[in-house]
Amino acid sequence: MSPEQPSAGPTRVTPPYYAVIFISRLASDTAGYDQSAQRMLQLAREMPGFLGFESAREEVGISVSFWRDAESIANWREHSEHLQAQAEGRKRWYDDYQLHIARVERSASFHRDPG
Amino acid sequence: MSPEQPSAGPTRVTPPYYAVIFISRLASDTAGYDQSAQRMLQLAREMPGFLGFESAREEVGISVSFWRDAESIANWREHSEHLQAQAEGRKRWYDDYQLHIARVERSASFHRDPG
């Protein structure tokens, strides 16, 4: 989350840690979706065990949040505002989604040297 | 990969299975990148243990491939054409990337009923 690493992937964290992979297709009624997504990211960043977040959307949206352990994810899943957003998502925003909760066993990263 | 499920996520597969999360930022020289990415997906789909693939790109590109087990991922990583593509990626296409290999422990999915 620092200005030095806006991408916020947990590349400096040594496995094991956890990833929540959320893959979704939006429905036609997305009123309020962007605002809620921003609010959820803001809240997630304040949760204990949050390590990072990345997202992109074309035909599908893929977001990956990284967490210290499974308990951190369980706590975030049960956050009251998050529960409301999840319900709203199923009621209006998503045509479909898949969620995968995974324990990262190995990681690697690459950064091009300048010049 | 069927026409009925073009999204190709392994939503019908029961955990545990594996996910390879690849998050990248492209460099300025992306000549040949799209062609190579398409070829790699074609090859991956033919590999034993391949379960599915999803990708999206905005500021960052996120691709997630799903696999039966860690051995399937290791075999794909060492595929000769894939090794060439990996080298080309580090030489030219990517400014940076992070790779997370993770064991999916739990999954869920949602599909909106029509009408």
Instruction: Please tell me which residue, A7 or B34, carries the higher pLDDT value.
Output: B34
The predicted structure's pLDDT at residue B90: 96
Contact residues, chain B, for A61 at CB < 8 Å:
56
Instruction: Answer yes or no: do B90 and A100 touch at CB < 8 A.
Output: no
Residue B10: pLDDT band (50, 70, 90) is low
In this predicted complex, what is the ipTM? 0.91
B15-59 pLDDT, tens digit each: 999 999 999 999 999 999 999 999 999 999 999 999 999 999 999
Which one is predicted more confidently, A73 or B10?
A73
Contact A109 B98 (CB under 8 A): yes
Query: pLDDT for A48-93, tens place per residue?
Result: 999 999 999 999 999 999 999 999 999 999 999 999 999 999 999 9
Residue in the block written with tokens 């599908």: A60
Q: How many other C-beta atoms lie within 10 A of the C-beta of residue A43?
A: 15
pLDDT at position A5, please?
40
- Count of A–B CB contacts within 8 Å? 132
Q: Which of A14, A21, A65 to mutate to test the interface with B (most CBs of B within 10 A)?
A: A21
Least CB–CB distance from B62: residue in A62, A95, A102: A62
Q: What is the pLDDT of residue B37?
A: 97
Say if the Cβ atoms of B110 and A94 lie within 8 Å.
Answer: yes
Q: What is the per-residue pLDDT for B18?
A: 98
- pLDDT tens readout for residues A23-46: 999 999 999 999 999 999 999 999
Residue B19 contacts residue B102 (beta carbons within 8 Å): yes
Q: Which residue has the higher pLDDT, B41 or B5?
A: B41
Residue B101 has its nearest CB partner, among A27, A61, A105, at: A105
The HSE-up count of residue A77 (CA atoms within 13 Å, CB side) is: 12
CA distance B56 to A30: 19
Q: Which residues pair with A104 in a beta bridge?
A: A17, B102
Q: Residue window 83-112, chain B: list those with CB within 8 Å of chain A.
A: 90, 94-112
The H-or-E segment that residue A55 falls in is strand A50-57
List Cβ neighbours of B11 (8 Å cut-off, separation of 6 or more). Answer: A98, B107, B109
The beta-carbon neighbor of A54 closest among B60, B70, B104 is B60
- The Cα B86–Cα B31 span in angstroms is 15
Q: pLDDT by residue (tens digit) across B44-97?
A: 999 999 999 999 999 999 999 999 999 999 999 999 999 999 999 999 999 999
Residue spans of alpha helices (H) in chain A: 33-45, 70-77, 80-88
